[in-house]
Amino acid sequence: MALMLVKFDMKKRVKLAQTIWFLYWFAVMAGVLVFSMGLFFKIELRKRSELMDNNESHLLPNVLILMGLIACGVNAFGGKVCYDSLDPSKFIKWKPMLKPFLMFCVGFNGLLFVTALLCFVMRIPLQFTLAEGLKNGMKFYKDTDTPGRCYMKRTLDLMQMEFRCCGNNHYRDWFEIQWVSNRYLDFSAKEVKDRIGSNVDGQYLMDGVPFSCCNPSSPRPCIQGQMTNNTAHYSYDHYTEELNVWKRGCREAMVSYYGGLMNTIGALVLLVTMLEIAVTIGLQYINSSLSSLVNPEDPESESEGWILEKTVGETFTDIMTNMKAMSKGGKVEEEAEAGVATVS
């Protein structure tokens, strides 16, 4: 018994072919959309690649770009087949390759679904990548004269201003590292000597943050130095006063931005997957309805279309039987080759 059997006449077949042809070209545009989203996401990641600990974060955009390109090619081919199905003399040349093509489409749809899932789950490793990358980036903030690191100060300052954040997890992260270059420290000054001497690693630590942490919306001029010293500023108590620097950490801000982007892309890829499944089913109905014409010499005769020629259970059994037969055939060939080698 065929799965989801539908009876067709000439009018229904033509209408189905026209509908699926239109959907295929719509799916080509969806493929372009997936490609564009992957390219956009890759560009966004590259802007801040210095703040990411590894290159694995580029896996998802690369997969999206590849899947988008494949989708364009697959759907263009499917649209051509649907167009030619209106003319039996043209359709006959596609008939031998339709079954392998449909099997490829099923596998491609599965990969598209996995890609959509990747968009949702890649948020988790992104958190760890950003945490380590930001931590290392903050250490190199002061190295403005070191080749290969001189760009880090500018990158971090632009990021903190754009995402309205400060530090890795909190603005106090800046208190734990030396972010001012030795080039700008007066080592003859008592304050500098005391700060460096009081630190085990010999670093110049202070309770201050870079200017890019300042919130321009604050009515008070930015207090970015001696932030825990109440006597250093008039009418100031750092325990109770609303600080005029960004409180949110940059890891949280960037995960929120990239996570939202990935969730949006994931939802769109799921919709594209549903469209791909629909056109694959439609093409299978076209193929099966044209293969089962009551009178093959009369294109206007009635026919039947199906998704699977047999039930799901029977189809699965046939697949397993074929796989076992192929496996046995491979073993027989290996044994025959071994016998020939022994005789020689």
Structure confidence by residue, pLDDT tens digits, 137-159:
898 898 888 787 788 899 999 99
Domain ranges of the chain: 6-138+253-298
Confidence tier at 272 by pLDDT (50, 70, 90): very high
Q: Is the pLDDT of residue 263 over 60?
A: yes
* pLDDT tens-digit readout, 69-110: 999 999 999 999 888 888 777 878 888 888 899 999 999 999
Q: Is the pLDDT of residue 331 over 70?
A: no
Q: Is the pLDDT of residue 341 over 70?
A: no
How many other C-beta atoms are found inside a 10 Å radius of the C-beta of residue 254? 22
- HEC-encoded secondary structure of 138-172: HHCCCCCCCCCCCCHHHHHHHHHHHHCCCCCCCHH
Among candidates 220, 215, 187, which has minimal Cα distance to 202? Answer: 187
| Residue scoring higher pLDDT (7 or 200) | 7
DSSP one-letter code for 9: -
DSSP one-letter code for 222: P
In the predicted model, what is the mean pLDDT of the chain?
A: 84
Among candidates 129, 125, 120, 135, which has minimal Cα distance to 249? Answer: 135
Q: What is the pTM of this model?
A: 0.81
Decide: 43 and 64 in contact? Cβ < 8 Å.
no
Confidence tier at 338 by pLDDT (50, 70, 90): low
Give the pLDDT score at 294. Answer: 61
Reported in sequence order, the residue ranges of the chain that DSSP labels E, i.e. its strands, are 6-8, 303-305
Q: In angstroms, rounded to a whole number, what is the distance separating the alpha carbons of residues 21 and 85?
A: 10
Q: Is the pLDDT of residue 334 over 70?
A: no
Please identify which residue in the block is written with the tokens 């009418």: 235
DSSP one-letter code for 224: -
- At 202 the three-state DSSP class reads coil
